[in-house]
């Protein structure tokens, strides 16, 4: 292979590597150990207060048996998925924990694939968070799963 052929081959390889795309339409992006899904942002946070007065009227909901609403202080923003909410460090958010703030026992939530230890005031955690639709224009957020820190 002559020098011109080697140079051309090298140039083509550089172009191919440079043009390889990072598909922005993927469902999940992995940053740190958190996978950030579309419409979510990944945060670390601390429970500031728990609203033990808001319970669901739906008897089948775990939120009819245990608190699901808390004020959360954002300690860090790990990343943001496509369409995820814009959240900043030190924001205080009203958050609905889908599977409650209580320990997710088999009795509370049968057949849940990931058990969580429960969160109390001053507990730290890491989670994906998304904005909730709200007719009152109040900013509300939702967390499905978390990891206690």
Quick check: is 139 in a domain? yes
Residue 96 maps to a domain = yes
Domain range spanning residue 34? 28-148
CATH value at residue 124? 2.40.50
Structurally, the chain folds into a number of domains equal to: 1
pTM equals 0.75
Residue 18 covered by a domain: no
**Is residue 32 included in any domain, yes or no?**
yes
49 found inside a domain: yes
Task: Quote the pLDDT of residue 145.
Answer: 96
Q: With respect to residue 6, please indicate whether it lies within any of the assigned structural domains.
A: no
Residue 42's pLDDT is what?
A: 96
Query: What residue has token string 């440079």?
Result: 18
Q: Considering the domain boundaries, does residue 91 fall inside one?
A: yes
pLDDT tens, position by position, for the chain (149 residues)?
666 555 555 555 545 454 444 443 334 444 445 678 889 999 999 999 999 888 888 888 999 999 999 999 999 999 999 999 999 999 999 999 999 999 999 999 999 999 999 999 999 999 999 999 777 788 999 999 999 99
- 76 in any annotated domain: yes
HEC profile of the chain: CCHHHHHHHHHHHHHHHHHCCCCCCCCEEEECCEEEECCCEEEEEEEEEEECCCCCCCCCCHHHCCCCEEEEEEEEEEEECCCCCCCCCCCEEEEEECCCCCCCCCCCCCCCCCCCCCCCCCCEEEEEEEECCCCCCCCEEEECCEEEC
> What pLDDT does 127 receive?
97
């Amino acid at each position: 292979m002559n020098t011109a052929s080697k140079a051309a081959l090298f140039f083509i390889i550089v172009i191919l590597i440079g043009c390889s795309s990072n598909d922005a339409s993927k469902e999940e992006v992995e940053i740190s150990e958190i996978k950030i899904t579309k419409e979510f942002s990944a945060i670390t946070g601390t429970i500031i207060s728990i609203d033990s007065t808001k319970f669901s009227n739906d008897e089948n909901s775990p939120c009819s048996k245990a608190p699901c609403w808390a004020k959360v202080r954002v300690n860090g923003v790990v990343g943001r998925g496509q369409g995820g909410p814009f959240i900043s460090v030190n924001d205080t958010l009203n958050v609905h924990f889908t599977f409650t703030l209580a320990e997710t026992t088999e009795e509370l939530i049968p057949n849940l694939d990931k058990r969580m230890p429960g969160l109390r005031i001053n507990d730290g955690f890491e989670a994906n968070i998304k904005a909730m639709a709200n007719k009152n224009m109040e900013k509300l957020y939702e967390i499905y799963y978390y990891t206690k820190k």
